[in-house]
Amino acid sequence: MIKSTVSLLALMGALMLEGQQLKDREIEEVVISASTFEQKAKEVPIPIKIIEKKQIQQSGSVRLSDILAEQTGLVIIPNHGAGVQVQGMTGEYSLILINGQPLVGRTAGTLDLSRITVHNIKRIEIIKGPSSALYGSDALAGVINIITETPLRDASDLNVRYGSYTTVDIGGGINIHRKKISLNLSANRYSSAGYKLNPDADQYGQTVNPFENYTYSTNINFKPNSHWELGLYTRYYYENLGGKMLIQGGKVDGYSKNQDYNIIPQATWRPNDKVTSRLGLYMSASNNDSQYKFVNSGQLVDETFFREHYNKVESFTDIRWNKRWKSTLGMGIVQQQIEASRYNNKKTSHQLYALGQLAYTPMKSWKILAGFRYDDNSIFGPQFNPKLATEIGVSKFLNLQASIGRGFKAPDFRQLYLNFTNSLIGYSVLGTQEVALQLEKMQKQGLIAQILVSPSKIGVLEPESSWSYNVGANMTPIRGTTLKVNAFRNDIQNLIQTLPIARKNNGQNVFSYQNFAKVFTQGVETELWVKLSRSFTLVGGYQYLEAKDKDIQNRIKAGEVFGINDHGNVIRLKSRDYFGIQGRSKHSFNAKLFYEDKKGWFFNIRGLYRGQYGFADKDGNGIINNKSELAPSYFILNTVLGKKIATHYHLSIGSDNLLNFKNIQYNPEYAGRILWINFKIIY
């Protein structure tokens, strides 16, 4: 791996000498996440957040999770990797795309965003809520679409960053552009020695173990004539994680190896300036192998494997009927397959879907977007989801937006077919399709002391669904100032949660899954962008969030819930005592100041605040109702200082978590202050 990476980066460095430099041209901001084809951002009536390449580069961040953490309404949650919380909904409800196609390889519902390098990202598009008709399951909270580089000219770059804890990021790319064909090659290596928040711990007590990962990608586009365009995007990722840890006082050593790939060939046909049709294939796979043993005895602690394959064929046709009407029709088929040590055998599913979207502009200042999506899955059956959005230009300085949409999340293979027993602690987790058979086996083996819920009452899992509402305004009160305000509400039904269904003789439980909760998230987001001067730009955002379980609210109103207050007294809870669902902060904000001058100097300082949030139920009533059950708030400050040297060279230094925030109990994802230096060559 290292040799191949070094060889490719050396080739990139050599090609820099042949690079052709062109003057940058201003290109009007476009998006593709609201439809299947590029269109001007100002034509889209749904709220879309766009993070451009320049902002990504100047932040000094190297992982996607670092960039998203600084965006309004997004919170990075460490749970089986760095997942993203959107409008109060966890990472399993957000769809992560690369060039419009989903990434696979989730662990317990979380797709680890720290495994995605930002090196060859052109822009990131964020849609909050299911306001677009294009996406199916897993998009209840929204969509994050990563758009990679498509070469417009010959160019090459090489980037090397070194930071605290022997953290090294090396990336490079080559762009080749000819009259009919363009090619982008990219490679990245990222590694760290890990860190420990407990100063007395040895290598087996590290908070994060050493790791290294590699990402390779290609993007090829061929235009034989004005009517046809052929494209091929490929990506390969490999990660090797160290596995030293302490379990029940014993030293454990092992490894975890992860691989995934994406292959996306597609053909686009434009017979005239009104019709665009695209046929695409998507092939993706994710593999994980892990093994852990006690160092002294050699006893096997855990050995697992996971294989996931996701294949899709889809076709879209976009027709611009006239200046006012535009339509999109699409259909596709998905085949998914999973094989894992925690499933009894190979599991498969297939899905057919069709969608339609209609954009209507009654007048220049009024836009309407309506759509639907129909899915028919071999496991959970049919789903129909409508969407509607509109935007009205009240004046030159004020635009109003509103949208409503229904989304769904299908039960995953884990919730349906999992058959897992923790050999050290002794608990078991069974998917709903395995409950009856596996529980009967445990009873025959004499492992069950008590049945808490009859398997016949578990039933068939229904997809989780939500209605999402967004109402907002975009204001430009004075030149160089933009203010965005968005109020949102998400009502989620059939939320899938774990529940104990049996108690074992060892005192541990057997768990399964069931639809029973109704929850809502609601709040307000504001974002401010101010061009202070030719060199200074100020950006800031704030979110107020409420996330609560409706059933718990009703029980509290009925006087059925008791708890311990902040003074240690048992009380009957009132509505004001219920803080909300765990892991959600009522208040969060970010602020960023960017500076750039004509001499090539650039500087920025970026702060993010997360308010206190529910962490653990300590009084046993199942809810968060006193201050001792909250994790404290925190503030992170990041900064960068850099200089462009002789056009082709960029040198920058920076610090992530400049104020050295640490909290081993609540926030082990923060290693304290990280200092780094970065050198980049661009031709």
Q: What percentage of the chain reaches a pLDDT higher than 90? A: 54
The pLDDT of residue 31 is 60
pLDDT mean over 164-178: 94
The pLDDT of residue 215 is 96
Binning pLDDT at 50, 70 and 90, where does residue 21 land?
very low
Side-chain-side CA neighbours of residue 77 (13 Å): 26
The Cα–Cα gap between 508 and 651 comes to 56
The dihedral through the CA atoms of 500, 505, 508, 512 has a sign that is: negative
Q: Would you say 116 and 64 are in contact if contact means Cβ atoms under 8 Å apart? A: yes
| Domains in the chain with CATH codes | 2-531 (2.40.170.20), 532-683 (no CATH)
The pLDDT of residue 36 is 57
Neighbours of 555 (CB within 10 A): 17
Binning pLDDT at 50, 70 and 90, where does residue 483 land?
very high
Better-predicted residue by pLDDT, 387 or 45: 387
Binning pLDDT at 50, 70 and 90, where does residue 18 land?
very low
Binning pLDDT at 50, 70 and 90, where does residue 545 land?
very high
User: Which of 20-29, 405-414, 456-465, 635-644 has maximum average pLDDT?
Assistant: 635-644
Site of tokens 């590694």: 191
| Beta strands per DSSP E along 550-648 | 562-564, 570-572, 587-596, 601-610, 613-614, 630-631, 634-645
pLDDT tens readout for residues 259-315:
999 999 999 999 999 999 999 999 999 999 999 899 988 888 888 899 999 999 999
The pLDDT of residue 7 is 42
pLDDT tens readout for residues 489-512:
999 999 888 888 999 888 888 999
Among candidate residues 313, 358, 325, 321, the one with its CA nearest the CA of residue 132: 358
pLDDT mean over 1-14: 41
The dihedral through the CA atoms of 118, 123, 125, 126 has a sign that is: positive
pLDDT tens readout for residues 109-120:
788 898 899 988
Binning pLDDT at 50, 70 and 90, where does residue 35 land?
low
Among candidate residues 586, 492, 480, the one with its CA nearest the CA of residue 534: 480
> Please, is 328 exposed, middle or buried when counting C-beta atoms within 10 Å of its C-beta (0-12, 13-18, 19+)?
buried
pLDDT tens readout for residues 621-647:
888 998 999 999 999 999 999 999 988
How far apart are the two ends of the chain, measured CA to CA in Å?
Answer: 26
Beta strands 82-86; 74-78: pairing state? antiparallel
Residue 17 in tokens: 């000498």
pLDDT mean over 465-489: 93
Q: Give the largest CA-CA distance in the chain.
A: 78
pTM (two decimals): 0.87
The pLDDT of residue 650 is 93
- Distances in whole angstroms, Cα of residue 462 to Cα of each of 136, 455, 526, 564: 15, 16, 35, 35
Query: What contacts 605, CB < 8 A, 6 or more positions away?
Result: 592, 593, 637, 638, 639
The Cα–Cα gap between 651 and 533 comes to 24
Whether 1 shows a pLDDT value over 60: the answer reads no
Round the average pLDDT of the chain to a whole number and report it.
Answer: 88
Among candidate residues 39, 28, 30, 27, the one with its CA nearest the CA of residue 369: 39
Whether 16 shows a pLDDT value over 50: the answer reads no
User: Which of 80-84, 369-373, 432-436, 590-594 has maximum average pLDDT?
Assistant: 590-594
Neighbours of 333 (CB within 10 A): 12
Q: What percentage of the chain reaches a pLDDT higher than 70? A: 93
User: Is 470 in a helix, a strand, or coil?
Assistant: strand
460 secondary structure, DSSP code: P
Binning pLDDT at 50, 70 and 90, where does residue 9 land?
very low
The pLDDT of residue 380 is 81
The Cα–Cα gap between 112 and 114 comes to 6
The Cα–Cα gap between 547 and 87 comes to 9
Site of tokens 């304290």: 672
Whether 2 shows a pLDDT value over 80: the answer reads no
